[in-house]
Structure 1
Amino acid sequence: MELRGDKVVLRPVNVGDGPTLHRIVREPEVAAWWPPPDDFEDMWAVVLDGEVIGAIRFEEETDPDFRHAGIDVFLTARHHGRGLGTDAVRTLARWLIAERGHHRLTIDPAADNTVAIRSYTKVGFKPVGTMRAYWHDHRTDTWEDGLLMDLLADELT
């Protein structure tokens, strides 16, 4: 299955994508926010003009009283600042709302990742609050704050 955005296509990651995605998460601009995952099995490749430029994933809370989905995304640094991450997040958000029936989505960038926060705001995500000492930065061996953001289905831009 593929999801088509305005600029990017999302498709399940395949075995051949591994070397490219491992290279991307080791880029300093990406590694600052993303520790290298053990595998990319549950992710979707973000594809631009046939080239894998990153990955996106979602997790679902299925308890009917708390049902929602969360999103994470990364792109190669050479494609930062072009609206491609925004397009990828918007594309996945539309699918999670329309096809998976979610009324609320969350995303949790590092509190000082202003570029990501600006991108998610363009999709319609709003800050909920700061999660103190939320994620462990393995490069500096420190705990850093995260920003919880959420989006209700009728707020998707």
Structure 2
Amino acid sequence: MPSLIRPVLATGSLNRAPQPTLPADGGLVLRPWRAEDAPAVHEAYQDPLLHQWHGRSSGCEQEAAGWIARWRASWETERGAQWAVADGGTDELLGRVALRQVLLGDGVAEVAYWTVARARGRGVAVRATTALTRWALEDVGFHRLELMHSTANRASCRVATKAGFAPEGTRRSALLHPDGWHDMHLHARVRGD
């Protein structure tokens, strides 16, 4: 059955070129993940705060290396796009920012992020999310980016708001965390905001 609506983004909108490195304010850089990032990712996932909000831990560097391989492959399949957030001068890993649940035809994706413990409170997540959002909406042409976080995660709510994601509502009992079901705030930005 033919569709009456043209796709917002065509297949190949992401992977027709290598994954870009994106500059962010304050000397940050969003760069594709590298195999040699595995020790830093493993270390980041030892943080109890990541366990609380992301529901996973890394048992060893090899496991983190497997995640990195999948994150890199997501670019080729256009199902996601994952970046390491690093200090532009030292290349120190400060966090991760990603587009997940990419639906090119609908022009929609979900933004996700985390920061390492020593980078928190420095605006890293806001600057990385802002840079990714600008690229996705303005350069690639996504129409809508969504962002969800637990209603109990006030810091993530501040990041979403500072990055220009308007609150749209609460999804009740929407995601299972290690301590039980959490209501999730839904924020979004649309092209032209």
Give me the TM-score of the superposition, normalised by structure 2: 0.73
104, 117, 139: which one pairs with 1:62? 104
> Is the partner of 1:112 in helix, strand or coil?
coil
Q: How does 1:78-93 map to 2 (within 5 A)?
A: 78-93=118-133
Give me the whole-angstrom Cα distance separating, in 1, the residues matched to 2:141 and 2:41. Answer: 29
**Which residue pairs with 1:39 in the alignment?**
67
Q: What is the number of equivalent residue pairs in this alignment?
A: 151
Structure 1 residue 121: Cα displacement: 0.5
Superposed CA deviations along residues 45-67 of structure 1, whole A, max 9, x for unmatched, are: 0001310111111022123xx32
**Which residue pairs with 1:135 in the alignment?**
175
Looking at CA atoms only, which structure, 1 or 2, has the larger radius of gyration? 2
> Is the partner of 1:54 in helix, strand or coil?
strand
Question: What is the letter of the counterpart of residue 85 of structure 2?
Answer: V
Q: Which structure's residues are more often helix, by fraction?
A: 2
Q: What's the RMSD between the two structures over aligned residues?
A: 1.5
Give me the whole-angstrom Cα distance separating, in 1, the residues matched to 2:107 and 2:192. Answer: 16
1:149 aligns with 2:190: no
> Is the partner of 1:32 in helix, strand or coil?
helix
**Which residue pairs with 2:49 in the alignment?**
29
Give me the whole-angstrom Cα distance separating, in 1, the residues matched to 2:46 and 2:165. Answer: 27
- Extract unaligned runs of 5+ from structure 2: 1-19, 58-65, 72-81
Give me the whole-angstrom Cα distance separating, in 1, the residues matched to 2:192 and 2:120. Answer: 27
Structure 1 residue 31: Cα displacement: 1.8
Q: What is the identity percentage for the equivalent residue pairs of Structure 1 and Structure 2?
A: 28
Question: What is the letter of the counterpart of residue 50 of structure 2?
Answer: V
- Extract unaligned runs of 5+ from structure 1: none
Give me the TM-score of the superposition, normalised by structure 1: 0.89
Is the 1:26–1:36 contact (alpha carbons within 8 Å) kept by the matching residues of 2? no
Structure 1 residue 82: Cα displacement: 0.9
Give me the whole-angstrom Cα distance separating, in 2, the residues matched to 1:57 and 1:44. Answer: 6
Structure 1 stretches of 4+ with a deviation exceeding 6 A read none
1:52 aligns with 2:93: yes
Give me the whole-angstrom Cα distance separating, in 1, the residues matched to 2:30 and 2:109. Answer: 17
